[in-house]
Chain A
Amino acid sequence: MTDTSPADRLDTAATSRRSVLAGFAGAAAMGVPGVALAQEAKEAPALAKLVADGKLPKLADRLPAKPLVVTPIETSGTYGGQLRRGLRGSADHNGILRMVGNQGLVRWNMEFTQVLPNVVESWEVNEASTVFTFKLRAGMRWSDGHPFTADDIVFSIEDCCKNSELYRSVPSPLVIANKPGTATKIDDTTVRIAFEAPYALFLEIMATPLGQHPTLFPKHYASRFHPKYNAGVADLVKAANVADWGALFRAKLGDIEIPARWGNPEKPTLDPWVVEEPYTGGATRVLMRRNPYFWQVDPQGRQLPYIDAINFGISQDVESLMLDAISGKLDIQDRHIDTLQNKPTLSQNMAKGGYRLIELVNSGSQQCQIYFNMTHKDPKMRAMFANKEFRQALSLGIDRAEIIELVYLGQSEPYQAGPRPGHPWHHAALAKQFTDHDTAKANAMLDRIGYGKKNAQGQRLHPDGSKIFFAIDVIPTLYPDLVDTLELVKRHWAEIGIDCKVNTIERALYYTRGDNNEHDVAVWPGSGGLDPMLDPRDFFAQHPQGSRYAIPWTQWYVSNGKEGEAPPDGQKQRMKLFDEARGTADLAKRGAAMKQLFDLTAEAFETVGVCLAVNAFGIANTKLRNVPKKMPASWSWPNPGPAMPQQFFFG
């Protein structure tokens, strides 16, 4: 039809009345979209048709006055297609979040180093980093066409996050120095969030998934389920047979990371795709279709997303996801298939499955961080683990080259902790101290600090004559490679007379032992490789479920000294330095504070590492364009979200 003009067809078909009519019908059906095509369509054909039928307002009325212009990674795309991705049967809602739901006030750049405007057009921060004034996009709309204004943000923060019936404590991204921020509307497109203490990291945290609350709850829809705005909520609660309005609110509106966020097709969102078939207990797939009011465009002013729909297939079994991957049934995937053992299989079948591998830069720093419990309940063990020279000796006892060669196929380097090489804050001593393999020195150190006595088998003894023995907790289902690593470490340590056991346990037990401070030694991948400010758990006792070398100290830190155990001065200094860095907007000053902190961490040598965190990988359909060859893999940079899947397309 595009080859011949309707006029030509009229001439050739003049003899038959039927053909003439058909010709007219053809011309009429082309209508508006046909004309739009000639001038480069600014919206997807399906939407253009709805506009032509009068079922949807014109594109100009759907977009904000200044939409966010997204520069495609390779080239501008074409509309259409359905993207296939896999989810696991249970607790995999964040797989949707990473792909679709990354629409916070601000977002990360591709390099994970800088915060860029997203929902907001621009912002201003006062000198003290306490008041943040955000300028919203005039004319921006929720996915149901209702305007998105400052009221929505104020409602989300003041009426939802700070409502003690909905959130017993305010979500921590909105809290600094134990006081939640206050959101105030200046006018329809200006909103101010003010804190009582400096909160320089606020913007960075707003760019992470946990910082999405301000854009999560559409006031016009959510207020129906909120007693402040709807006196009749009690009836709704009764009709839904739930315990209280909070439960109903959560079932309808969800929260940042619960499955219910993707369970209600009615809920308006700001995401590029909206739920058509929800993620519920019985679902076998989740289907999301383009948001006609999505507020981002490409440089030609064409509305995103390019791809019509996303189809998340739900697999009960992770192995069957692998089958889907190698038979080319997934368009972009890394979740659940990115283990080291899968890499050879996936590389082998690239041509057959029609996909390519993409590199995911590990945002962590350490592949296998070993946490000796320095606050062990048994005084004898506590004395041993808290002895810095003991930990240093054990670190020298590890043959890292062998582990890297055998377990990680040479894809890493000996490492302790701290920001990755290449990061501006990389700290040489913190990263590389005590990574040599030196059994003589290790033995000498152990002899010197009072563990010189040995039994008949050559195993070292505590000063009281009992044998040194400890268990290293590891979760085999989560990190099979760590079990292999630890088996080698155990052998290396046997050579310096230290006996231990690799304690493979189920994950809930691992957490329970940690929470109750019952573990001897635990391993976990070390964090803070690319995001040292966001996850500093290895640099001081910061995370009650992460800094496993001294859980009671973290409790002291988190509770402001009310619970747990008081840490030594070096820790207290670091806690102060971190709070200071977190309150400093000036990057150079913040870096200086963190440098001091890293110096202290290197000096204290609390954790023992093995090697630099190994990069992961994912697959992408060879036809899928605008996917970066390399991107960070992180929760704070929820890949592939910040690479903007809305600008992916099938070429």
Chain B
Amino acid sequence: MLLFIARRLLWMIPSLAVISVLAFVLIRLPPGDFVTNYIATLAASNEVVDQNTAAELRARFGLDQPMIVQYWKWISGIVFRGDFGFSFEWQQPVGDLIWERMGLTLLLTFSTLLVTWAIALPIGVYSAVKKYSFGDYFATFFSFLGLAIPSFLLALVLMYVAAMYFGQDVGGLFSEQYLTAPWSLAKVWDLMSHIWIAVVILAVSGTASLIRIMRANMLDELGKPYVTTARAKGLSEFRLLVKYPVRLALNPFISTIAWLLPNLVSGSIIVAIVLNLPTAGPLLLQSLMSQDMYLAGAFVLLICALTLVGTLISDVLLALADPRIRLE
């Protein structure tokens, strides 16, 4: 096992190197650069950049140099000094910008995940066991609804209803008076009273698909002879379900951990933008849209690194949970 982990970790180095090149090239690929975008954004409000300044910006940010030189400047900073560079737009270190938002992003992603699992697993098992019952149809109906409604639309509708009929503000994670207040019990409570809306909206579509997956997996297992055998041996229905078919049906969930880590950064971008959540997603989108290269590059690199680590973790967990799986 240790050998396996070591080997996988070693393989990550060349993968990351290739990814860093790809990420850099991809960010540079769209026409224009940060300065063009900057000028265009200001032009949208009929604002003009001084012509001397525009030419100078490009030189200041090194955008006039060949791509290979720019790449080297970027990657050498990361490798030798752990320095991800400066964001063009904010004139702030990229590392600070990302970390500032990581805490709330983690909180939101994990609570969404927990809520999703807490709802989806029991309902999925239930609707498989009671196939074609009223409860199954009910759960199926709602999970299809959840799948069909894009979560950002749900967020928008919810915000509109709250604003128009209840005069309430659903956006953001804090009330006005707690925005910049230091952490306290009251602030945590305020966070909790705001975050559930985001969690519910985010959980809706995830729950729906998980219910479907769980139901399908369970149905595959329930018909197998070992279930019949266990039942014939007189095991209680609950113990039987939890001990055998559910455990097997869980394998796909463990695999999803691989996507979970990168989702910490890039998941739920649209919902976060609509709900105005101070998480990493909107910052990532902004940086890509304005071609703020170092910020976007750091994000893409982070997402890729998390994907690699996530895959490794889920492989190890799968091996632990299911003895049939070999790592060799």
Q: Is A316 an interface residue (CB 8 A)?
A: yes
CB within 8 A of B52: which of A95, A172, A285, A525? A172
Q: Is A433 an interface residue (CB 8 A)?
A: no
Q: Is B25 an interface residue (CB 8 A)?
A: no
A-B contact count (CB 8 A): 165
Q: Is B90 an interface residue (CB 8 A)?
A: yes
Query: Which of A173, A259, A478, A545 lies at the interface centre, i.e. has the most chain B CB atoms within 10 A of its CB?
Result: A545
Q: Which residues of B contact A622 (CB under 8 A)?
A: none
Contacts A259-B91, A280-B90; A478 near B44 (Cβ below 8 A): yes
Q: Which residues of A contact B278 (CB under 8 A)?
A: 282, 284
CA distance A327 to B164 in the complex (A): 6
The answer to whether A544 and B40 have CB atoms under 8 Å apart is no
Residue of A nearest to B269 (CB): A316
CB within 8 A of B97: which of A246, A281, A311? A281
Query: What is the CB-to-nearest-CB distance from B320 to chain A, in angstroms, rounded to a whole number?
Result: 38
CB within 8 A of A544: which of B44, B51, B273, B289? B51
Query: What is the CB-to-nearest-CB distance from B75 to chain A, in angstroms, rounded to a whole number?
Result: 16
CA distance A214 to B39 in the complex (A): 23
Q: Which residues of B contact A316 (CB under 8 A)?
A: 272-274, 276, 282, 286
Query: What is the CB-to-nearest-CB distance from B87 to chain A, in angstroms, rounded to a whole number?
Result: 6
The answer to whether B100 and A247 have CB atoms under 8 Å apart is no
The answer to whether B273 and A326 have CB atoms under 8 Å apart is no
Query: What is the CB-to-nearest-CB distance from A536 to chain B, in angstroms, rounded to a whole number?
Result: 13
1/0 per residue A311-325: CB within 8 Å of B? 100111101100110
Q: Which residues between 312 and 370 of chain A lie within 8 Å of chain B, taking CB atoms?
A: 314-317, 319-320, 323-324, 326-327, 329, 335, 352, 363-364
CB within 8 A of B90: which of A210, A259, A545, A635? A259
CA distance A310 to B95 in the complex (A): 30
Residue of B nearest to A282 (CB): B100
Q: Which residues of B contact A515 (CB under 8 A)?
A: 36
CB within 8 A of B40: which of A173, A507, A635? A507
1/0 per residue A157-173: CB within 8 Å of B? 00000000001111111
Contact segment of A54-62, A86-94, A487-495, A567-575? A86-94
The answer to whether B169 and A329 have CB atoms under 8 Å apart is yes
Residue of A nearest to B152 (CB): A317
CA distance A173 to B278 in the complex (A): 38
CB within 8 A of B171: which of A257, A320, A635? A320
Q: Is B86 an interface residue (CB 8 A)?
A: yes
Q: Which residues of B contact A478 (CB under 8 A)?
A: 40, 43-44
1/0 per residue A172-203: CB within 8 Å of B? 11010000000000000000000000000000
CA distance A316 to B55 in the complex (A): 29
CA distance A311 to B31 in the complex (A): 36
The answer to whether B90 and A171 have CB atoms under 8 Å apart is no
Residue of A nearest to B95 (CB): A241
Q: Is B172 an interface residue (CB 8 A)?
A: yes
The answer to whether A168 and B290 have CB atoms under 8 Å apart is no
CA distance A512 to B37 in the complex (A): 10
The answer to whether A171 and B31 have CB atoms under 8 Å apart is no
CA distance A568 to B300 in the complex (A): 50
Q: How many residues of A contact B (CB 8 A)?
A: 71
Q: Is B192 an interface residue (CB 8 A)?
A: no
Q: Is B101 an interface residue (CB 8 A)?
A: yes
The answer to whether A169 and B56 have CB atoms under 8 Å apart is yes
The answer to whether A509 and B32 have CB atoms under 8 Å apart is yes
Q: Which residues of B contact A453 (CB under 8 A)?
A: none
Q: Which residues between 523 and 581 of chain A lie within 8 Å of chain B, taking CB atoms?
A: 525, 535, 544-545, 558
Query: What is the CB-to-nearest-CB distance from A265 to chain B, in angstroms, rounded to a whole number?
Result: 12
CB within 8 A of B48: which of A168, A320, A525, A635? A635
Q: Is A634 an interface residue (CB 8 A)?
A: yes
Query: What is the CB-to-nearest-CB distance from B123 to chain A, in angstroms, rounded to a whole number?
Result: 32
Q: Is B229 an interface residue (CB 8 A)?
A: no
Q: Which residues between 256 and 291 of chain A lie within 8 Å of chain B, taking CB atoms?
A: 256-260, 263, 277, 280-282, 284-285, 287
Q: Is A7 an interface residue (CB 8 A)?
A: no
Q: Is A468 an interface residue (CB 8 A)?
A: no
Q: Which residues of A contact B50 (CB under 8 A)?
A: 171-173, 210, 256
The answer to whether B159 and A323 have CB atoms under 8 Å apart is yes
Q: Which residues between 144 and 179 of chain B lie within 8 Å of chain A, taking CB atoms?
A: 156, 159-160, 163-164, 167, 169, 171-172, 174, 176, 179
Contacts A247-B86, A508-B30; A327 near B163 (Cβ below 8 A): yes
1/0 per residue B56-67: CB within 8 Å of A? 100110000000
Residue of B nearest to A311 (CB): B176
Contacts A251-B91, A511-B40; A89 near B282 (Cβ below 8 A): yes
List residues of A whose CB falls within 8 A of some B CB.
89-91, 94-95, 167-173, 175, 209-210, 241-243, 246-247, 250-251, 255-260, 263, 277, 280-282, 284-285, 287, 311, 314-317, 319-320, 323-324, 326-327, 329, 335, 352, 363-364, 475, 478, 506-513, 515, 525, 535, 544-545, 558, 633-635
Contact sample, A vs B, 22 pairs, CB 8 Å cutoff: A90-B286, A168-B60, A169-B55, A169-B56, A170-B52, A171-B52, A247-B86, A256-B50, A257-B42, A259-B89, A259-B91, A280-B97, A317-B276, A320-B159, A320-B171, A320-B274, A323-B160, A323-B163, A324-B163, A508-B30, A508-B40, A512-B31
List residues of B whose CB falls within 8 A of some A CB.
30-33, 36-53, 55-56, 59-60, 83, 86-87, 89-93, 97, 100-101, 156, 159-160, 163-164, 167, 169, 171-172, 174, 176, 179-180, 272-276, 278, 282-283, 286, 289-291, 295
What would 15 more interface pairs be, CB under 8 Å, given A167-B56, A324-B163? Answer: A90-B289, A241-B83, A257-B49, A281-B87, A282-B101, A315-B276, A317-B276, A320-B276, A327-B163, A335-B45, A352-B164, A508-B40, A512-B36, A558-B51, A635-B46
